Amino acid sequence: MQRSQAELKELNLELENRVNERTAKLRETIGELQYISYSLTHDMRAPLRAVHGFGQLLLTESQDRLEPDQQDYLRKILVSSTRLDRLIRDALDYTQVAGAPVRLEPVDLAALLEGMLQSYPHLQPPNAEIRIEGKLPIVLGDEALLTQ
């Protein structure tokens, strides 16, 4: 069954209208998700800053009374809370610039990996033993994306 030019134009116009409606709904949904993501990540930073601040106070004011391993635990808490804050900020940035080009900058892979390993107790002995042999390069990349 062949369709006339007029029928084809009408079907094409109908299809374009459907695509435009669905695209508008998709953009609206993406906007709502970005707003929710922004709100959640923003709200998570306040308690995290409190944990970091109290940890810093405890380390500063009680350092001379703490055992070396206790001081180390506190330092790890501070490093991990700083790292989590960075990830939250990266998520905030991502919601604001979704679809924007990737930020390429020099990234020291050794420092990045060391920070990741220090932040996750399950990646440390006795749970895991991770050895890196050789020197890791500095690469051009987006540190947040490489971390994730």
Are 43 and 67 within one domain? Answer: yes
Dmax over CA atoms of the chain, in Å, equals 90
Does residue 43 contact residue 97 with C-beta atoms inside 8 Å? no
Does residue 79 contact residue 119 with C-beta atoms inside 8 Å? yes
List, in sequence order, every residue forming a beta bridge with 107; answer none if it has no partner: 139
**pLDDT score recorded for residue 2:** 79
Does residue 137 contact residue 107 with C-beta atoms inside 8 Å? no
Are 30 and 95 within one domain? Answer: yes
What is the per-residue pLDDT across 31-89, written as a single tens digit (0 to 9) for each? 787 788 778 887 888 899 999 999 999 999 998 999 999 999 999 999 999 999 988 88
Are 96 and 106 within one domain? Answer: no
Token duo for residue 141: 């990349």
Centre a 10 Å sphere on the Cβ of residue 111 and count the other Cβ atoms it contains. Answer: 12
Residue that terminates a domain, selected from 100, 116, 133: 100
Token duo for residue 132: 């890196």
Are 87 and 120 within one domain? Answer: no
Are 84 and 115 within one domain? Answer: no
**pLDDT score recorded for residue 75:** 93
Are 23 and 62 within one domain? Answer: yes
CATH of the domain at 4: 1.10.287
Give the count of domains, the chain: 2
**pLDDT score recorded for residue 107:** 94
What is the per-residue pLDDT across 89-142, written as a single tens digit (0 to 9) for each? 887 777 665 555 677 899 999 999 988 888 877 777 888 888 888 899 999 988
Range(s) of the domain holding residue 117:
102-148
Q: Measured on CA atoms in the order 55, 146, 42, 40, is the torsion positive or negative?
A: negative
**pLDDT score recorded for residue 127:** 81
